[in-house]
Amino acid sequence: MEFLSEIERRRTFGIISHPDAGKTTLTEKLLLYGGAIQEAGAVKSNKVKKGAASDFMAIERQRGISVATSVLAFIYKDKKINILDTPGHKDFAEDTFRTLTAVDSVIVVIDVAKGVEEQTQKLVEVCRLRSIPILVFINKLDREGKDAFELMDEVEIKLGLTVTPLTFPIGMGYDFRGIYNIWEENLELFNPDDKQRVSEKIKFRSINDENLKLNIGVKQTKQLKEDLELISGVYPKFNVQNYLSGDLQPVFFGSALNNFGVQELLDCFIEIAPKPRPKGSDMRIIYPTEDKFTGFVFKIHANMDPKHRDRLAFIKIVSGKFERNIPYLNVRQNKKFKFSSPNAFFAEKKQIIDVSFPGDIVGLHDTGNFKIGDTLTTGEKINFKGIPNFSPEHFRYINNTDPMKAKQLNKGINQLMDEGVAQLFILNINNRKVVGTVGALQFEVIQYRLLHEYGAKCNFENLNVYKACWVSREESENNEFEEFKRVKQKFLAKDKQNQLVFLADSDFTLRMTINKYPSLKFYFTSEFK
């Protein structure tokens, strides 16, 4: 019974958005309300403000953006909350896509002034394809922005969602007065005095409270009543099952920077959000309530603590209990490993734990045995699918600029590639190393981390490559494969798993090659076996 009740307590979710919508700020305020921190940080940190807990890498603090997923956990109203704060910038989207394989639901953050933006559309599409329950938080209500109904229409049209508001704003920007909580049928007035700490708010139990007019005025009281009538007539009534199946998306309004609307979001979220969900493997569906442990690696991070040069594999527990000092099978290697110090996370802060349950994220110290997508079990040979490497869009040679640090450079490149920061290709013709990334900003991150974490200096040299494709062939078609390797030898490389990769220099070359060698298969993700 204890095992089942622990599963019921878990809520594991990701926060996604376009850059600067306030995703990391919202994460900070959720931690604040959960009592995990006493004072919220700021993403764009300076000498006065405290830095955001989820932006723990030095480059994140300097640039004011998230460049890697961070894991944070806390207890709120007896629920174990696991937050995965993801990068919003499109150049780090691959990390976000992989993280979405480890969450049971997501909160999408939208800027009230900018509305639905490009990166939000891409991330929501991934969530919809995987039927992940989505909750929408429209942020920055204290600023001038679009009308609330206009924003909800935009969410429905651009994201293809069916929304229903569970909170609704009273005014906006300079006229912002508070939020009506449709879920709990009460009202709270806005007080922007304390942005860093939880403070008492003025609450009303009913919209018909006479004192309400004295606080927000007759005009806004009348407008609120009209808005609520329109909501009840136009939007579907909230249904938990429709939300869990991905057919209905609740909408919340607030200002994360000002601590407003966040507690309403959190209180409702812990009631309606899904507990740990089943996950498909190559053999069968794995259910959280199964006795035997299963889990998978969705992220690897080197040097979370630069003083100790540690490397951690992030494991999402799918079923059973994960216990300290018990040997578990790495299915890919067919080899068992025992873990003496598994970690739970609070950003870069870690604590050793004895047991973890489905839904939890565990950090395992790794000396190079794991790669992203690995499955761990008590012995069953299954593989969780859907965590591939994507075809990069930017390619550059990497050159060592300090020959005395060649060893450090090789170690750094290998570890950063294992993290999924980028992909490494070794050209067949001359063994030169090529780094491929989803976004150009990744090259700056790699260069910075190699210097500051490994003491290695490098520069990048442009390479004219349009697309990387993984290549496989039918066993019987050896002649065509040999001709392909001979004709395209200067465009061929191997990835870190020694798989053959074709580096096409243009879309035309790629299409012509695919047509010329019909027995070969070209893939845009590495997961094709």
* CATH for 279-377, options being 2.40.30.10, 1.10.760.10, 2.120.10.30, 3.50.50.60: 2.40.30.10
CA distance 422 to 434: 10
Which tens digits make up the pLDDT trace of 128-148? 878 899 999 999 998 898 999
Q: Which pLDDT score is estimated for 174?
A: 84
- Can you give the pLDDT at residue 260? 87
394-523: which CATH topology? Alpha-Beta Plaits (3.30.70)
Tell me the three state secondary structure of residue 32.
helix
Handedness of CA 54, 4, 275, 76 (dihedral sign): negative
Report the topology of domain 2-272.
Answer: Rossmann fold (3.40.50)
Q: What is the pLDDT of residues 295-348, one digit of tens each?
A: 999 888 776 555 555 678 889 999 999 999 999 999 999 999 999 989 887 655
**Would you say residue 22 has pLDDT above 90?**
no
How is the chain split into domains, by residue range? 2-272, 279-377, 394-523
pLDDT for res 331 = 94
- Is residue 75 classed as helix, strand or coil in its secondary structure? strand
Taking CA atoms, 397 is separated from 16, 87, 394, 498, in Å, by 32, 25, 11, 18
Query: With bands split at pLDDT 50, 70 and 90, how would you rate the model's confidence at 289?
Result: very high
pLDDT tens across 83-140, in order? 887 764 455 556 677 788 889 999 999 999 999 988 788 888 878 878 899 999 999 9
pLDDT at 198 over 50: no
The reply to whether the predicted model has a pTM over 0.95 is: no
Range in 290-294, 357-361, 435-439, 460-464 with the lowest mean pLDDT: 435-439
Range 44-71 average pLDDT: 47
Residue 199 pLDDT exceeds 70: no
Q: Same topology for domains 2-272 and 394-523, yes or no?
A: no
pLDDT at residue 50 greater than cutoff 50: no
Across residues 452-456, what is the average pLDDT?
88
Reported as a single tens digit per residue, the pLDDT across 249-271 is 999 999 988 888 898 999 999 99
The CA distance from 206 to 185, in Å, is: 7
Q: In degrees to the nearest 10, what's the CA dihedral of 12, 16, 20, 22?
A: -40
Burial class (CB in 10 A: 0-12, 13-18, 19+), 77: exposed
Vertex 66: Cα angle to 64 and 67 (nearest 5): 120
Q: How confident is the model at residue 420, as a pLDDT?
A: 74
DSSP character at residue 183 = T
Given pLDDT bands bounded at 50, 70 and 90, which one contains residue 220? confident
Q: For the residues 63-79, what does the mean pLDDT come to?
A: 69
Residue 386 has pLDDT above 70, yes or no: no
Distance CA 470, CA 494 (A): 9
Average confidence score pLDDT of the chain: 83
The mean pLDDT value for 168-183 works out to 87
- Residues 215, 202: Cα–Cα separation, whole Å: 10
The pLDDT of residue 346 is 65
Do residues 34 and 81 make contact, with C-beta atoms less than 8 angstroms apart? yes
Of 85-99, 167-181, 186-200, 457-471, where does the model show the most confidence?
A: 457-471
Sort 201 into a burial class: Cβ within 10 Å, 0-12 / 13-18 / 19+.
Answer: middle
